[in-house]
C-alpha cells in the first residue's frame, strides 16, 4: 500500500482550485485542453497559494456529457493524454506542494461502459443487477414518476431486456445499482486504483444520488411556494417534485463509511457534491458529521441566485449550518463548471468582487475556486450554433446551458486563442475575457489576481480562519459580522455587503486591525467603525 505521509486533516480549511481539463491548456494543438497542459500551468495555481487541485473527469468517455459519462474508470481518455501524463501531473503537483483530487462519478456510467453492455444483454448475466432495471407498468409506461435532471422521464426503455433503466441525467448515463454489493466493491476498487496511483482525494459527483428506493415509490409533488432553481433551471419540471425516493437514501451513508475507511489508509480526503434544492445543508451535515464519512461536502447556497449574496442571507445559511450541520464541514464555492460565473451572476463591481473574495477566505469550512475566477472572468456569451452542452440544447433559450463558464482559460491577451491553443478551441475564446488574461493581470498591481493571492495567504496565516469556530453571526442591514476563534486567536470580522456606507460600533477590547492589504480599515478611537461600500474591517484580539 502506497501510504502517503501527510497530515490526515490537510483538507480542513484548504483552498482547492478546480480545473476543467478540456478548457485549461492545450498542449498538443488539437483545440482541447489536456493533462500535459495542466502540468504546464500548475505553477500558476501554486502561485495563488492553493493547497490542492480538483481535476474534472479525464477518464475514457464518449463525451456525451464531457467526461461525466465514464466508459472506463481506470484509464485516461486519449483526448486528455495518457496514464504517464497523469503520473506527471501528480509528480509536478506534489513537487509544487499541491495535493491532487480527481472527480469520481460513481452514481452512473456511460451506456458504453462494458458493465452496462453486459447488464443490458439479458436478465440473468453476471452483471444483470448492476444497474437499476424495472418492469413497465401494465400499460407499458415507466415504473414511476421519477424525472431526469436533464429533462423528461428518468426512465429509458431497453428492447433487449424489455425493461426500463434509470438515468438521473442523460439517457446515455444509466444509474448504477448501489443495492448490489458487487457494485459497491467494484467502485471501492476504482477508488483504490487511483489512491495507489498517488491521488490525495476525490471530488464526488452527485454524492446524494448514489442509492434509490428499492420499492420505486413515486416522488410526491412539491408545492409551488417551495420550489427553487438552485440545482436545476427554473424551466425544468424536475423542480416540481420532492425528491425523497430517487435520491437521498438513508443507506447511502453506509457506502460512504466504506469509502472513508479505504481513504483513511492513504490520508486522503473527499468533497461531495450535494444536489438537493430543499435539504442540501441537512444532507451536507449528515454526510460529513463525525470522522467516519466524507470529510467535506458542498451544497448550492452560494452557487445559485442572481442577486449578490446579502448579509441576511449569509446569516440565514450559517444559522442553518449551525442547526443541521454543526458537526459537519462545508466546502464553499461561488463558481464551478455547472453554474454561471458569479461575477456575471451577481453583476459584481471590482470592489464587490474583492470583498466577496476576502469574505470567502474568512468563512468556516474549506474553499473551492474555479479556474478563471481569480481573474474576475465574466460569463462568456455562447451562440446556439457554438453550443456543446446537451443541457443547454434541451432548455434553450430560457436556460443557455453550462458552456458560458467552460470556455478556454485566457493566458495571453495577444496570444492565439488567448494562449490556450494554436488550433480552434472546442468552445470559442471569449473576446470579453481577453483583457483579463493572466499576462495582463500579472502586470497590473490592481488586478483581482493579486487580491486572491493576498486573501489566500491571509487565510493560511491564521489558524482561526483555517479551522476555528465561527460564532456570533449577525446581520445588520447590509453589514455581516462574525467571530472566528481558535485556541490562540480571536478574529472579529465586519463586511459591508452593500454599495452604501455603514457605521457600527466595535465591542470593547484590545483589537488590532489586520488584513490592511485586503482593504481592512481601523475603528475610530471611540470604537465607532465607518465602513465604505464593499469594505471590510478585520480585527485581531490582542491577548498580550
The catalytic residue positions are 205, 273
What is the Cβ-side half-sphere exposure of residue 469, based on CA atoms within 13 angstroms?
12
CB 362 within 8 A of CB 455: no
Length reported for the chain: 544
Match 424536475 to its residue by C-alpha cell: 238
- In terms of Cα–Cα distance, which of 323, 321, 363 is closest to 14? 363
DSSP strand E in 40-154: where? 52-55, 59-60, 72-76, 99-104, 133-134
Round to whole Å and give the CA distance between 64 and 68: 8
CB 109 within 8 A of CB 115: yes
The Cα-based distances of 397 to 148, 235, 342, 428 in angstroms read 19, 10, 20, 19
Round to whole Å and give the CA distance between 68 and 454: 34
CB 341 within 8 A of CB 378: yes
CB 85 within 8 A of CB 34: yes
- 377-406 burial, b if ≥16 CB within 10 A, otherwise e? bbbbebeeeebbbbbbebbeeebbbbbbbb
Round to whole Å and give the CA distance between 342 and 510: 37
- In terms of Cα–Cα distance, which of 483, 336, 363 is closest to 13? 363
- In terms of Cα–Cα distance, which of 491, 343, 373, 403 is closest to 50? 373
DSSP string, 286-342: HHHSTTSS-SEEE-STTS--SSPPPHHHHHHHHHHHHHH-TTS-BEE-S--TTS--H
CB 51 within 8 A of CB 100: no
- In terms of Cα–Cα distance, which of 396, 419, 394, 392 is closest to 408? 419
CB 107 within 8 A of CB 175: yes
CB atoms within 10 A of CB 346: 18
Round to whole Å and give the CA distance between 107 and 157: 19
Q: Find the distance separating the first CA and the last CA of the chain, reported in whole Å.
A: 48
Q: Is the dihedral of CA 198, 203, 204, 205 positive or negative?
A: negative
DSSP string, 471-532: EEEEEETTEEEEEEE-SS-EEEEEEE-SSS-EEEEPPSS-EEEE-GGGT--PPPTTSEEEE-
Amino acid at each position: 500500500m502506497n501510504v502517503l505521509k501527510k497530515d490526515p486533516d490537510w483538507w480542513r480549511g484548504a483552498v482547492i482550485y478546480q480545473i476543467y481539463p478540456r478548457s485549461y491548456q492545450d498542449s498538443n494543438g488539437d483545440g482541447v485542453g489536456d493533462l500535459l497542459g495542466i502540468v504546464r500551468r500548475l505553477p500558476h495555481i501554486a502561485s495563488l497559494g492553493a493547497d490542492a487541485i480538483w481535476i474534472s473527469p479525464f477518464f475514457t468517455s464518449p463525451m456525451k456529457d464531457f467526461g461525466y459519462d465514464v466508459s472506463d474508470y481506470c484509464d485516461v481518455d486519449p483526448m486528455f493524454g495518457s496514464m504517464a501524463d497523469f503520473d506527471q501531473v501528480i509528480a509536478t503537483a506534489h513537487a509544487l506542494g499541491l495535493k491532487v483530487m480527481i472527480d469520481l462519478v460513481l452514481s452512473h456510467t456511460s451506456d458504453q461502459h462494458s458493465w452496462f453492455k453486459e447488464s443490458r444483454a439479458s436478465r440473468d448475466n453476471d452483471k444483470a443487477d448492476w444497474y437499476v432495471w424495472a418492469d413497465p407498468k401494465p400499460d407499458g409506461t415507466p415504473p414511476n414518476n421519477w424525472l431526469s435532471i436533464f429533462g423528461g422521464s428518468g426512465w429509458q426503455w431497453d428492447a433487449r431486456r424489455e425493461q426500463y433503466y434509470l438515468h438521473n441525467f442523460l439517457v446515455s448515463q444509466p444509474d448504477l445499482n448501489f443495492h448490489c454489493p458487487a457494485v459497491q466493491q467494484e467502485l471501492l476498487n476504482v477508488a483504490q486504483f487511483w489512491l495507489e496511483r498517488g491521488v490525495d482525494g476525490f471530488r464526488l459527483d452527485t454524492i446524494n444520488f448514489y442509492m434509490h428506493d428499492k420499492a420505486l415509490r413515486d416522488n410526491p409533488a412539491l408545492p409551488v411556494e417551495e420550489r427553487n432553481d438552485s440545482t436545476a433551471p427554473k424551466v425544468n419540471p424536475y423542480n416540481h417534485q420532492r425528491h425523497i425516493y430517487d435520491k437521498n437514501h438513508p443507506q447511502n451513508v453506509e457506502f460512504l463509511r466504506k469509502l472513508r475507511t479505504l481513504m483513511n489508509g492513504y490520508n486522503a480526503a473527499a468533497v461531495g457534491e450535494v444536489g438537493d434544492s430543499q435539504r442540501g445543508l441537512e444532507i451536507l451535515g449528515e454526510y460529513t458529521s463525525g470522522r467516519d464519512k466524507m470529510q467535506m461536502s458542498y451544497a448550492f447556497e452560494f452557487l445559485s441566485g442572481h442577486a449578490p449574496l446579502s448579509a441576511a442571507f449569509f446569516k440565514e445559511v450559517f444559522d442553518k449550518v449551525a442547526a443541521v450541520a454543526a458537526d459537519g464541514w462545508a466546502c464553499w464555492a461561488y463558481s464551478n463548471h455547472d453554474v454561471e460565473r458569479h461575477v456575471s451572476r451577481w453583476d459584481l463591481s471590482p470592489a464587490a468582487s474583492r470583498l466577496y473574495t476576502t469574505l470567502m477566505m474568512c468563512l468556516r469550512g474549506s474553499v473551492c475556486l474555479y479556474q478563471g475566477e481569480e481573474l474576475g472572468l465574466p460569463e462568456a456569451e455562447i451562440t446556439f450554433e457554438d453550443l456543446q452542452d446537451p443541457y443547454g440544447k434541451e432548455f434553450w433559450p430560457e436556460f443557455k446551458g453550462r458552456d458560458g463558464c467552460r470556455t478556454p482559460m485566457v493566458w495571453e491577451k495577444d496570444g492565439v486563442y488567448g494562449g490556450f491553443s494554436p488550433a480552434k478551441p472546442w468552445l470559442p475564446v471569449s473576446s470579453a475575457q481577453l483583457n483579463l488574461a493572466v499576462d495582463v493581470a500579472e502586470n497590473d498591481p490592481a488586478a483581482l489576481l493579486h487580491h486572491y493571492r493576498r486573501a489566500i495567504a491571509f487565510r493560511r496565516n491564521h489558524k482561526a480562519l483555517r479551522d476555528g469556530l465561527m460564532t456570533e453571526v449577525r446581520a445588520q442591514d447590509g453589514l455581516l459580522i462574525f467571530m472566528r476563534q481558535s485556541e490562540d486567536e480571536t478574529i472579529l470580522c465586519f463586511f459591508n455587503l452593500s454599495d452604501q456606507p455603514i457605521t457600527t460600533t466595535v465591542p470593547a477590547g484590545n483589537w488590532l486591525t489586520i488584513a490592511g492589504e485586503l482593504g481592512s480599515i481601523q475603528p475610530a478611537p471611540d470604537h465607532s467603525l465607518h465602513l465604505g461600500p464593499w469594505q471590510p474591517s478585520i480585527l485581531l484580539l490582542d491577548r498580550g
